[in-house]
Structure 1
Amino acid sequence: MAAKRRRTRRSFGAVRKLPSGRYQASYLDPAGQRRAAPSTFTAKIDADAWLSVQRAALETGSWRGRDDRVTVGEYAQQWLPTHQVRERTRYHYGVQIDRWIVPTFGTTPMVDVTPAMVRKWLSIFPADKPAARANAYRVLAQLFRAAADDGIVAESPVRVRGAGQYERKREGHALTVADVSALAGKAPEGRQLAILLAAYCALRPGEVLGLRRRDVDTRAHALNVRETASAVHAGSARIGPVKTSSSVRTVHYPAELHEQVLAQLRDHATDGPMGHLFPSPRDPAQPLSYTGYLYMFRRAAEAAELHDVKPHDLRHTGATLAAATGATTRELMSRLGHTSPTIAMGYQHAVRERDRSIADALGAALATVSTSDETTSSETAGGDDR
């Protein structure tokens, strides 16, 4: 029988396996303070090798005490390229890091950042930039959560309640059917359907621009939403997967749009199954850019004399119209591609509130008619007395 292998006591430092499967190495410095490696290791042997280097530095007198004090800026450079997000999101995270995080925390060791420092940092944001404040806070929170998972910090100091949220200055506006028709009518012929689909199928602008020939089921009058088009940033692709897994969905369009869908496929879409339904005029192999779509939308809105209207209002319009038909919360979630019922319930609430306003207006009209009838009856009765 083979003898059991005895575990030997480590003479210098410590190595522990993290829940992520990676290894964290640490040791006690001459002052008795525990020092962790600036990053974790995929293999235990690599962690052992790092400890050997630190021990040699201590023994030879070359240890300086900052080799394992990774700063926020250094960790951000390691974290961002490996963070599992879309390229467009990675680009925006990088903007937040460079503009808001590095100037304040860039040279600060991760282990030295405190909740008080985070609260003070939040106070430097301009009052008129709540979105920038919330977005930067969310990136910093993700950065420190990853550092905690890697064992760089014991726990995240980024825990200010409500700091990652903000109230939008402008809520979505629901257009009337007449407004949608007027808006589409002022758009170029090959772009009119983009407005109509966004409004009546409650699609995001990127989802409309990401549609291909293969996504249009003319028999079922349905669109298979699976890609989204967005602005190109730092070499990222113009078209990619939709926002979330729930955003992959099939949405039926009204039968009244069928002839326009056929005309778009016949006269304007790029050839082939992968051909774009709304191709770029400069390069038909690419979808119409969001910048081009926005320019077209603004000109059409101006020509239709529709003020303070934005592309996302078309999705808001479609959601409101769907809620008005009596669609359930689950049905609205499916049509909109939402994972949370909160937003879908908001549209239902808005419709109920609007219905109440309509009822109140009708009541006021009825009251006016009733008062008029009573006056007429009183005058008639007075005439009979005479």
Structure 2
Amino acid sequence: MAKRRQFGYIRKLPSGRYQASFTAPSGERQTAPETFRAKTDASRWLALVEADIARGTWIDQRSSMVTFGVYARAVLRDSAEIGPRWRETCERNIRLHLSALVDLPLRGVTPTVVREWHAEALRGKGGRTAIAQAYRFMRMVMNTAVREEMIARNPCQLPGAGLVRAAERPIATPSQIIAVMEAIFPKYRTAVLIAAWCGLRRGEIAGLRVADVDLGAGTISVRKNRIELLESTAAYDGDPKTEAGKRTVTIPPHVLPIVKMHLAEHAGAERLFVSRDGTPLRGHALYQAFRRARQKAGLNHITFHDLRHTGQTLAAQAGATLADLMLRLGHSSMVAAKRYLHVVDGRDAEIAKALSDLAAHGNAAKLPKSITMRS
């Protein structure tokens, strides 16, 4: 019969090895995951468990045996802050980039395992952005496991593994903006101008409604972001990622007549941009139209998102401060929020006018005349 100790129990098995067990804080009897060659080894293990329980750092070994794949999908299912688009991305990354880890128990995902997984992933054919996304998701899952006391510490400790250092983005000139705009279908031309001169994202453009345009004030209000899932045809209007994304942007005067013409000739009853059948414009359709237009204009190095980057750069050249840019483009951070304090009313309208001045007196002197909504 096992001899009673102050903490835990040790008994000798018929094999000659020793088994250690103890009563967990939950009141359940738990056994060590392995047997011990000597009784002193079993006693040492129990002493460590007792110390961990006293410090509040004890981890239930049974819970940490849950596999990473099962736990990751449970976290993905139950996290209210994860939207459908990011959930779809994480599910794809589990399938494509984290498959080597899904059958490992949580406690088996060690810093060494994570380092080796990351190195192997980088040697493979996967894109750097997807690998960084997969690492960020794994780190989030393991942080949750730490909070829920499934594991003692997060094994994702690789500096910079979740970051993507993108190359410097190209900047289009005003004349190149016009070249792409004139090469695209007329119903998409205003979208190109809004991206370049107002700094809206593709999803923000697709989410615009007629009511978001105030011709009298010369502004566009961003209230929604059109979100499309990659592996289905589902699309819906969602809120911008941050409160700063909800903003009102002054339209540069040289673009305002084109927006007005678009409202008269191409807008839907409710949506500013619509497809042929009158349904909300899909961002992918706009992207494909842009690709054909840039090829026609000989500007294959310019992406649609580069138009937004161009608008930010041109606004800076027009005299916008960092706080002005953060406000105009819908960026949000603690540092930027402090700088919003010195942005005065009317400053955005001044920036918009300066953008038109830049377009009119730069290398696109004939800009107002060359812009047209008709092919």
Taking the aligned partners of 1:294 and 1:222, their CA distance within structure 2 comes to 24
Taking the aligned partners of 1:31 and 1:323, their CA distance within structure 2 comes to 64
Tell me the equivalent position of 1:329. 322
Taking the aligned partners of 1:307 and 1:99, their CA distance within structure 2 comes to 29
Tell me the equivalent position of 2:271. 276
Contact 1:172-1:312 within 8 A present in 2 as well: no
**1:186-205 to 2 correspondence within 5 Å?**
186-205=183-202
In the alignment, which of 71, 76, 96 is matched to residue 75 of structure 1? 71
TM-score by length of 2: 0.71
Taking the aligned partners of 1:261 and 1:175, their CA distance within structure 2 comes to 21
SS at match of 1:105: coil
Tell me the equivalent position of 1:117. 113
> Which has the greater radius of gyration?
1
**1:189-228 to 2 correspondence within 5 Å?**
189-228=186-225
Name the aligned partner's letter for residue 31 of structure 2. Answer: P
Matched, 1:285 2:268: no
SS at match of 2:295: helix
CA offsets 1:112-161 (integer angstroms, 9 cap, x no match): 22101100111111446322221111110011011111111121111111
Taking the aligned partners of 1:235 and 1:141, their CA distance within structure 2 comes to 30
Taking the aligned partners of 2:71 and 2:193, their CA distance within structure 1 comes to 46
Tell me the equivalent position of 1:357. none
Taking the aligned partners of 2:147 and 2:266, their CA distance within structure 1 comes to 51
Q: 1:303 to 1:31 in 2, by over 3 A?
A: closer
Contact 1:184-1:196 within 8 A present in 2 as well: yes
SS at match of 1:184: helix
Taking the aligned partners of 2:233 and 2:139, their CA distance within structure 1 comes to 26
Contact 2:109-2:155 within 8 A present in 1 as well: yes
Tell me the equivalent position of 2:144. 146
Contact 1:202-1:335 within 8 A present in 2 as well: yes
Contact 1:193-1:264 within 8 A present in 2 as well: yes
Matched, 1:106 2:117: no
The more displaced of 142-151 and 256-265 is 256-265
Name the aligned partner's letter for residue 186 of structure 1. Answer: A
SS at match of 2:221: strand
Name the aligned partner's letter for residue 188 of structure 1. Answer: F
Structure 1 runs not aligned, ≥5 long? 1-10, 16-25, 35-53, 55-64, 346-386
Q: Output the aligned Cα RMSD.
A: 2.5
In the alignment, which of 129, 137, 145 is matched to residue 131 of structure 1? 129
SS at match of 2:132: helix
In the alignment, which of 309, 314, 318 is matched to residue 302 of structure 2? 309
Tell me the equivalent position of 1:254. 252
Name the aligned partner's letter for residue 113 of structure 1. Answer: V
Taking the aligned partners of 2:331 and 2:229, their CA distance within structure 1 comes to 25
Give 1:244 deviation, angstroms.
Answer: 2.0
Q: 1:114 to 1:175 in 2, by over 3 A?
A: same
Taking the aligned partners of 2:91 and 2:224, their CA distance within structure 1 comes to 24
Tell me the equivalent position of 1:4. none
Taking the aligned partners of 1:163 and 1:324, their CA distance within structure 2 comes to 34
Q: 1:110 to 1:68 in 2, by over 3 A?
A: closer
Higher relative contact order (CA 8 A, sep 6+): 2
Name the aligned partner's letter for residue 156 of structure 2. Answer: V
Taking the aligned partners of 2:137 and 2:63, their CA distance within structure 1 comes to 25
TM-score by length of 1: 0.69
Name the aligned partner's letter for residue 140 of structure 2. Answer: Q
Identity %: 32
Taking the aligned partners of 1:236 and 1:27, their CA distance within structure 2 comes to 47
Q: 1:104 to 1:28 in 2, by over 3 A?
A: farther
Contact 2:64-2:105 within 8 A present in 1 as well: no
In the alignment, which of 148, 158, 183 is matched to residue 180 of structure 2? 183
Contact 1:199-1:314 within 8 A present in 2 as well: yes
CA offsets 1:321-360 (integer angstroms, 9 cap, x no match): 1000111111111011112469xx9xxxxxxxxxxxxxxx
**1:371-382 to 2 correspondence within 5 Å?**
none
The total of aligned residue pairs comes to 287
Taking the aligned partners of 1:142 and 1:68, their CA distance within structure 2 comes to 16
Give 1:66 deviation, angstroms.
Answer: 6.0
Taking the aligned partners of 1:269 and 1:194, their CA distance within structure 2 comes to 11
SS at match of 1:333: helix
Contact 1:193-1:260 within 8 A present in 2 as well: yes
Tell me the equivalent position of 1:244. 242
The more displaced of 132-141 and 226-235 is 226-235
Q: 1:122 to 1:336 in 2, by over 3 A?
A: same
SS at match of 1:123: helix
Contact 1:97-1:139 within 8 A present in 2 as well: no
Taking the aligned partners of 1:107 and 1:239, their CA distance within structure 2 comes to 36
Name the aligned partner's letter for residue 260 of structure 2. Answer: L
Give 1:69 deviation, angstroms.
Answer: 2.2
